[in-house]
Copies of this chain bind each other. A is one copy, B any other.
Amino acid sequence: MSDSPVAGATLARLSTRDADFDARLEALLAWEGVSDAEVQHRVDEILATVKARGDAALVEYSNRFDRLAVTGMAELAVGPERLREAYEGLPEAQREALSQAAERIRAYHERQKPESWRYTEADGSVLGQQITPLDRAGIYVPGGKAAYPSSVLMNAIPAHVAGVPEIVMVVPTPDGVLNELVLAAAHLAGVDHVFTLGGAQAVAALAYGTETVPRVDKIVGPGNIYVATAKRAVFGQVGIDMIAGPSEILVVSDGGTDPEWLAMDLFSQAEHDENAQALLVSWESEHLAEVEAAIERLLPTLDREAIVRESLASRGALIACRDRDEAVALVNRIAPEHLELSLAEPEALLPAIRHAGAIFMGRYTAEALGDYCAGPNHVLPTSGTARFSSPLGVYDFQKRSSIIHCSPEGASELGRTASVLARGESLTAHARSAEYRIRD
């Protein structure tokens, strides 16, 4: 049997009962976001050039790649006044929706803020953990078709809530086109500076700093393969968020949700791009057939029908399983970015879910609500990385410092232990440094 869907089929139908189920699922999930040597080489060159020549290189690259005709960085900087204007110039419905989303995202992320703590031991020694924000965060926002104001909110608000005093945003403006919604979102999210830069050159500017662009401590936000390759290259020099793969959803349905709702939930994932992945699993096989029929019925009504068709054909699937336990096992194996538990009793399943970026519970919680305005972040671990990583959050814009303050008694006691262990490792200067603090 082939790993690709049957020719002409809208999307694959899999069953956990099939002998080749494991192989077909693996093939569907497979994703390698590797950049080739050519991309790597071009990115390395751009990074080195911006590092060496600063603003001048940024002007040249922006003119070349974004088809601009600017003469200096002043034309690539957008001031706070312009951001406010963009916000105020929005149609009222958009302005209100954006503000409501920002408010809810802020409220959720406020709950994430960790507190510094310390405790005192019997001998007077103090141990603790001090939380501080980054000095400066950089937000990369894609330009052109993929310029999403919701992404500006989701990336910048956690930084703002974390207490980062300076937030720098970069967004390319291909052919000089500025997205008003993106600027308005920057205004709402507390962004301090915006530069209309994109690609590897924008990443270089944020990582190394130039005469005009301040060096940041961490770069977050999605981008194309050049941006991803550049972020990977500057990692270490600055912090980065995860390198995201294509977006995916896994819906678990008990058969009680309207098949058209589920079809549209799958479409909302598939419409992102041709590599996006939409999977539905259920132990109700008739229900799966109903969802398939709804998909066929609704597909011709979609604005982005072609993208959705390609995404479903290449990476989508309806998966029949035996029961709830098998569905849970699939969830934990796939570790999906988005998990929709379209069930009467989603809470009953929750304790068994070990890996998922965000969990949308019940028939009413469409992923789209979380994408825009429920409150939690929509920047989530993709391609199974929810096994070991987490949604973007306030944590990503802070760091911890350990605090150790030994009393003379505490140092004396610890000194004895440290001395034995250091000598066991043949690190005798360590031992002697500890021994100086031992009281006779």
Q: In the complex, what residue of chain B is closest to A432 when comparing beta carbons?
A: B264
Least CB distance from A156 to B in Å reads 16
Indicate whether A401 reaches chain B with its CB closer than 8 angstroms: yes
| CB–CB A418/B130 < 8 A | no
| CB–CB A149/B385 < 8 A | no
A: which residues have CB within 8 A of B?
33, 93-94, 96-98, 100-101, 108, 111-112, 114, 117, 119, 125-127, 129-130, 132, 134-135, 148-150, 181, 217-218, 236, 238-239, 243, 258, 260-261, 264-265, 267-268, 270-272, 302-304, 308, 346-347, 350, 353-362, 364-377, 380-381, 383, 385-391, 393, 395, 399-408, 410-411, 414-418, 420-422, 424-434, 436-437
Least CB distance from A287 to B in Å reads 17
| CB–CB A402/B376 < 8 A | yes
| CB–CB A404/B374 < 8 A | yes
Instruction: Give A304 to B395 CA distance when docked, in angstroms.
Output: 40
Q: Provide the residues of chain B in CB contact with A390, threshold 8 Å.
A: 399-401
Q: Provide the residues of chain B in CB contact with A112, threshold 8 Å.
A: 129
| CB–CB B391/A430 < 8 A | no
Q: Provide the residues of chain B in CB contact with A367, threshold 8 Å.
A: 433
Instruction: Give A434 to B368 CA distance when docked, in angstroms.
Output: 6
Q: Provide the residues of chain B in CB contact with A411, threshold 8 Å.
A: 364-366, 369
Q: In the complex, what residue of chain B is closest to A391 when comparing beta carbons?
A: B402
**Closest 3 A-B residue pairs measured CB to CB?**
A239-B388, A376-B402, A364-B411
A265-B433, A370-B402 are known contacts; what are 4 more A-B pairs with Cβ within 8 Å? A268-B433, A353-B401, A365-B406, A369-B411
Instruction: Give A406 to B426 CA distance when docked, in angstroms.
Output: 59
A129-B112, A404-B374, A437-B369 known; A410-B364 Cβ under 8 A? yes
Q: Provide the residues of chain B in CB contact with A236, threshold 8 Å.
A: 33, 243, 383, 385
| CB–CB B372/A267 < 8 A | no
Contact of A417 among B101, B271, B430 (CB under 8 A): B101
| CB–CB A260/B436 < 8 A | yes
Most buried by B among A268, A272, A357, A404: A404
Contact of A420 among B97, B346, B421 (CB under 8 A): B97
Q: In the complex, what residue of chain B is closest to A408 when comparing beta carbons?
A: B364
